[in-house]
Amino acid sequence: MAYASVDDLAFALNRPASADVAAVMQLCLDAAAREIDQECGRPADDPIPPGDALANRVCVARAVEWWKAADAAFGVVGFEQVGALNAPRDGFNRHATALAPLKRSWGIA
């Protein structure tokens, strides 16, 4: 279950959710949701509530990164106006920190 809609992602990308890209947008949202679920480690009987604002924002932010991943395939994104920008190096780690309030276990024995 994605924590955001294709319309949420389209708005964040400032791009219409046309039929030809909606399926790829959904894949990006689903990938982000799987990362969120993995990080939070919540049991099946205690899922993240639908409509949770934190899960929604992290899902959209990470889905934007998944969408733009092809642009940064070599670790650099080029823009004519500002030059080359390095892609973030920490992957999901900064999102994992944001998700801390939704975690149920920390993996410490």
> What digits encode the pLDDT tens for the residues 25-42?
999 999 999 889 888 888
| Amino acid letter, residue 93 | N
CA quadruple 32, 34, 36, 38: dihedral positive or negative? negative
Position 82 in a domain: yes
pLDDT of residue 81: 53
Position 108 in a domain: no
Count of domains in the chain? 1
**Domain span including residue 78:** 6-102
**Which uninterrupted H or E stretch holds 26?**
helix 19-40
Report the mean per-residue pLDDT for the chain.
80
Is residue 55 within 8 A of residue 8, CB to CB? The reply is no
73 CA to centre of own chain: 17
Position 64 in a domain: yes
% the chain with pLDDT above 70: 72
Q: Looking at the whole model, is its pTM more than 0.85?
A: no
Contacts of 102 (CB under 8 A, 6+ apart): 36, 40, 42, 48, 52, 54, 55
pLDDT of residue 84: 52
Position 73 in a domain: yes
Confidence of residue 2 (pLDDT cuts 50, 70, 90): confident
List pLDDT tens digits, range 5-23.
999 999 999 999 998 899 9
Position 14 in a domain: yes
Position 63 in a domain: yes
Position 109 in a domain: no
Position 90 in a domain: yes
